Amino acid sequence: MITRTLRQIAEMIGADLPREAYRNTIVRGVSIDTRSVQDGNLFVPIIGDRFNGHSFVREALAGGAAAVLWDRKQLDPPQDIPLVLVDDTVDALQSLAKAYRQQLAVKVIGITGSNGKTSTKDMLAAVLSVKYKTMKTPGNLNNHLGVPLTLLRLEEDTEMAVVEMGMSGLGEIYRLASLAKPDAAIITNVSEVHLGDLKTRERIVQAKLEILCGLRKNGLFIYNGDNPRLTDRLDELTVEFETVSFGSGRGQQLYPVEYRLEDKGVRFSINDPDCPPMFIPLLGRHQVINALSVIAAARHFGLTYEQIRQGFLQVEATGMRNELVQAGRCLIINDAYKSNPTSLRAALDTLYSLNPDKRKIAVLGDMVELGEESDRMHREIGEQLDGERLNALYTLGTSAAHIAQAARKNMEESRITSCMDKEQLAELLKEELHEDCIMLIKGSRGWQLEEVVETLRKEASGYGG
């Protein structure tokens, strides 16, 4: 993590250090949350819609913080503590991260995309760690605060940093890429996510391509060639970097020639005859496509195919993404972190592909951020459900109710349950735990469906399941 004196911190962000007595105060790491502040941290108070971090400065210092950034527009800055005056604490946090990144010899790989960026991050970090000291975005810290915090967590001797970049509007990834200055950039795919904010698919592509604005000259751009809207835009760009396309078809530079879905992951081969068969301990055919981008990046940075194979075997996935949870006789696929049409179709394909002799149950919550097309997209999911491979459907929420309504074309009414209450849903699902079944639980973040997963797990443990 960043370790600098307060004078150096002030110089890095072009800020004022009011009291010379504190110029040699040592700062180790950065925190924006008093609940996670550690000894020696620089505390950065964030001003939100319903809170002002400046109110918690004393609490942060009591928790071990060594110094504080202070927005000069806030009245009565404390005179008895080490602080640096700044015009805006978020801007200062980002400026500090940008300056620190420029001082490091680390190679940065930036990853964005509508789906698959977290799984890709996890796979790539595991693979690169076979050869290099590697760090990655922790959890889901991929926004305007998470990316600078990720950069500031890097150790001075970190060799590779895998940085996930999310967004909700135009300009956000541009800003994040300008901080991280990636040596390689990956766009996993582009889909309907964020239609509610960006209105059109063309603007979503534009937003994702902002990652190229920070890509270093002569860097590497790895992109999903299965997305025509993305590839059409690339044809319009003048590029000063190497490109590698990946995808499901033979038109891409990297593509799978065969794959086999197993209970604990996927085994696959690619179009390079020098590459041995690979296994990734993640569920779903879509993870093979994500793995292709990992292979491209790893090869660019000098890893052998054998090192890549070893790295895939030690992937530790971020939670709530195709996470397997055993509850009684029921195997739950906990995919509760988020949901959109593309990722939901992939999750359903995964569910269908698993043990055909077991009962299959889909528990689907609302998909959000789909704008005016939301109802139609939910109905399309319902119409496309495979009634022959799905034994029961539960939906949660007003939007997901459209899935249930449309599913009646392919499934009997008795196999479909539509709920508006999460507690009611959990009670109904408890009855399924006695069955030898596989249950997919997936919905948008607002529903926090991992709570249903935990309820079912505790219920099963209570009766010795």
Q: Tell me: the pLDDT tens digits for 384-432?
A: 999 999 999 999 999 999 999 999 999 999 999 999 999 999 999 999 9
Query: Which H or E run includes 232?
Result: helix 228-234
Q: Which residues contact 21 (CB under 8 A, 6 or more apart)?
A: none
Q: Are 445 and 338 in contact (CB under 8 A)?
A: yes
Q: Are 84 and 12 in contact (CB under 8 A)?
A: no
CA–CA distance, 43 with 22 (Å, rounded to integer): 15
Cα angle 378, 383, 442 (rounded to 5 degrees) comes to 50
Task: Establish how many alpha carbons lie within 13 A of residue 160's alpha carbon, considering only the half-sphere containing its beta carbon.
Answer: 21
State both tokens at 16: 């004022």
Q: Which residues contact 187 (CB under 8 A, 6 or more apart)?
A: 112, 113, 208, 209, 211, 221, 222, 223, 224, 230
CA–CA distance, 268 with 289 (Å, rounded to integer): 10
Q: Which residues of the chain have pLDDT under 50?
A: 465
Backbone dihedral region for residue 440 (phi beyond 0: left; psi -120 to 50: alpha; all else: beta): beta
pLDDT of residue 465: 47
Q: Which residues contact 122 (CB under 8 A, 6 or more apart)?
A: 136, 315, 316, 317, 318
This prediction has a pTM of 0.87
Interhelix angle 89-103/146-153, nearest 10 degrees = 40
List the one residue out of 346, 454, 448 whose CA is nearest residue 114: 346
Please state which CATH number belongs to domain 104-313.
Answer: 3.40.1190.10
Could you list the residues known to form a binding site for ATP, using ranges.
Answer: 113-119
CA–CA distance, 324 with 167 (Å, rounded to integer): 28
Please state which CATH number belongs to domain 323-462.
Answer: 3.90.190.20
Q: Are 426 and 449 in contact (CB under 8 A)?
A: no
pLDDT of residue 198: 75
Q: Is 261 helix (H, G, I), strand (E, B) or coil?
A: strand
Amino acid letter for position 410: N
Could you list the residues known to form a binding site, using ranges.
Answer: 113-119
pLDDT of residue 194: 67
pLDDT of residue 19: 81
Q: In CATH, what class is 3-88?
A: alpha beta
pLDDT of residue 463: 55
**Domain range list for the chain:** 3-88, 104-313, 323-462
pLDDT of residue 461: 82
pLDDT of residue 316: 85
